Amino acid sequence: MYGQIVRDGLVNVTGIEDLGLTSPVLQRTSDAFFKEISPFLLHFGMFVPTIIGQCTPEQQAKWLPLAMDLKIIGTYAQTELGHGTFIRGLETTATYDASTEQFILKTPKLSSYKWWAGGLGKTANHCIVLAQLYTKGVCHGPHPFIVQIRDTETHMPLPGIKVGEIGPKLGFNTADNGFLGFEDFRIPRENLMMKNAQVTKDGTYVKVARHGKLTYGTMVFVRVMLVSDMAYCLAKAVTIAVRYSAVRRQSQPKPDQPEPQVLDYLTQQHKLFICISTAHAMKLTSTWLWNTFTGVLADMRDGNTDTLPELHALSSCLKAISTSDTSALIEQCRFACGGHGYMYSSNLPALYSFATATRTYEGDYTVLLLQTARFLVKSWEQMDEGKPLTPTLAYLEQSRNGSQVSWDDSPEGIVRGFDAVAAGRIGACVKSIRKHINNGMDYEDAWQMTTVQLVGAAEAHCRAVICRVYRDETARLTAGCSPGVKAVLDQLSTLYLLYWALERTGDLLRFSSLSERDIENLQARYEALLLKIRPNAVGLVDAFDFRDEVLMSTLGSYDGRVYERLMEEALKTPLNREPVSDSFHKYIKPMMQGKL
Ligand X SMILES: Cc1cc2nc3c(=O)[nH]c(=O)nc-3n(C[C@H](O)[C@H](O)[C@H](O)COP(=O)(O)OP(=O)(O)OC[C@H]3O[C@@H](n4cnc5c(N)ncnc54)[C@H](O)[C@@H]3O)c2cc1C
Ligand Y SMILES: CCCCCCCCCCCCCC(=O)SCCNC(=O)CCNC(=O)[C@H](O)C(C)(C)COP(=O)(O)OP(=O)(O)OC[C@H]1O[C@@H](n2cnc3c(N)ncnc32)[C@H](O)[C@@H]1OP(=O)(O)O
Question: Catalytic residues, which ones?
Answer: 362
309 lies in the site for ligand Y, by CB under 6 A? yes
Select the residue interacting with ligand Y from 33, 40, 44, 115 (CB under 6 A). 44
Select the residue interacting with ligand Y from 68, 367, 509, 519 (CB under 6 A). 367
Residue ranges of alpha helices (H) inside 188-307 are 217-247, 266-301
> Residue 556 binds what, of ligand X, ligand Y, none (CB under 5 to 8 Å, by partner type)?
none
Q: Which of residues 51-90 bind ligand Y (CB under 6 A)?
A: 76, 78-79, 84-88
CB distance 341 to 249 below 8 Å: no
Select the residue interacting with ligand X from 39, 74, 118, 411 (CB under 6 A). 118
How far is the C-alpha of 501 from the C-alpha of 419, rounded, in Å? 12
> Which range binds ligand Y by CB under 6 A, 41-49, 236-244, 431-439, 579-587?
41-49
Count of other CB atoms within 10 angstroms of residue 249: 13
> Residue 172 binds what, of ligand Y, ligand X, none (CB under 5 to 8 Å, by partner type)?
ligand X
Residue nearest ligand Y, Cβ-based: 45
Site string for ligand Y, 225-244 (x = CB under 6 A): x---x---------------
How far is the C-alpha of 301 from the C-alpha of 194, rounded, in Å? 16
Q: Which of residues 168-187 bind ligand X (CB under 6 A)?
A: 172, 177
How far is the C-alpha of 565 from the C-alpha of 334, rounded, in Å? 18
How far is the C-alpha of 395 from the C-alpha of 511, rounded, in Å? 13
Least separation in angstroms between residue 484's CB and ligand Y is 35
Picking from 287, 277, 340, the residue whose alpha carbon sits closest to that of residue 318 is: 287
Picking from 79, 1, 78, 14, the residue whose alpha carbon sits closest to that of residue 40 is: 14
41 lies in the site for ligand Y, by CB under 6 A? yes
Q: Which of residues 91-120 bind ligand Y (CB under 6 A)?
A: 118
How far is the C-alpha of 262 from the C-alpha of 414, rounded, in Å? 31
Select the residue interacting with ligand X from 40, 47, 116, 293 (CB under 6 A). 116
How far is the C-alpha of 239 from the C-alpha of 279, rounded, in Å? 11
> Residue 576 binds what, of ligand Y, ligand X, none (CB under 5 to 8 Å, by partner type)?
none
How far is the C-alpha of 350 from the C-alpha of 553, rounded, in Å? 10
> Which range binds ligand X by CB under 6 A, 70-78, 192-200, 261-269, 512-520?
70-78
> Which range binds ligand X by CB under 6 A, 61-69, 110-118, 150-158, 326-334?
110-118
CB closer to ligand Y out of 41 and 501: 41
449 lies in the site for ligand X, by CB under 6 A? no
> Residue 331 binds what, of ligand X, ligand Y, none (CB under 5 to 8 Å, by partner type)?
none
- DSSP three-state, residue 182: strand
CB closer to ligand Y out of 455 and 495: 455
Q: Which of residues 320-349 bind ligand Y (CB under 6 A)?
A: none
Least separation in angstroms between residue 371's CB and ligand X is 9
Least separation in angstroms between residue 211's CB and ligand X is 21
How far is the C-alpha of 139 from the C-alpha of 354, rounded, in Å? 37
Angstrom CA distances, 565 to 31, 336, 346, 511, 553, stand at 19, 19, 10, 51, 9
Name the pairing type of β-strands 114-115 and 178-182. Answer: antiparallel
How far is the C-alpha of 445 from the C-alpha of 186, rounded, in Å? 42
Picking from 55, 327, 59, 105, the residue whose alpha carbon sits closest to that of residue 215 is: 55
Q: Which of residues 230-259 bind ligand X (CB under 6 A)?
A: none
> Residue 340 binds what, of ligand X, ligand Y, none (CB under 5 to 8 Å, by partner type)?
none
Residues 6+ apart with CB under 8 A from 52: 60, 64
How far is the C-alpha of 363 from the C-alpha of 87, rounded, in Å? 11
Residue nearest ligand X, Cβ-based: 84
Site string for ligand Y, 504-543 (x = CB under 6 A): ----------------------------------------
Question: Where are any strands of DSSP class E within 473-585?
Answer: none
> Which range binds ligand X by CB under 6 A, 114-122, 251-259, 271-279, 483-491?
114-122
* Secondary structure of 317-360 in HEC code, one letter for each residue: HHHHHHHHHHHHHHHHHHHHCHHHHHCHHHCHHHHHHHHHHHCC
CB closer to ligand X out of 118 and 144: 118
> What does the angle CA 156 – CA 159 – CA 160 come to, to the nearest 5 degrees?
125
CB closer to ligand Y out of 368 and 529: 368
76 lies in the site for ligand X, by CB under 6 A? yes
Least separation in angstroms between residue 352's CB and ligand Y is 17
Count of residues binding ligand X (CB under 6 A)? 21
How far is the C-alpha of 372 from the C-alpha of 312, rounded, in Å? 8
> Which range binds ligand Y by CB under 6 A, 159-167, 239-247, 361-369, 414-422?
361-369
Which residue ranges make up the site for ligand Y (CB under 6 A)? 23, 41-42, 44-46, 76, 78-79, 84-88, 118, 213, 216, 219-220, 222, 225, 229, 308-309, 312, 361-363, 367, 371, 374, 378
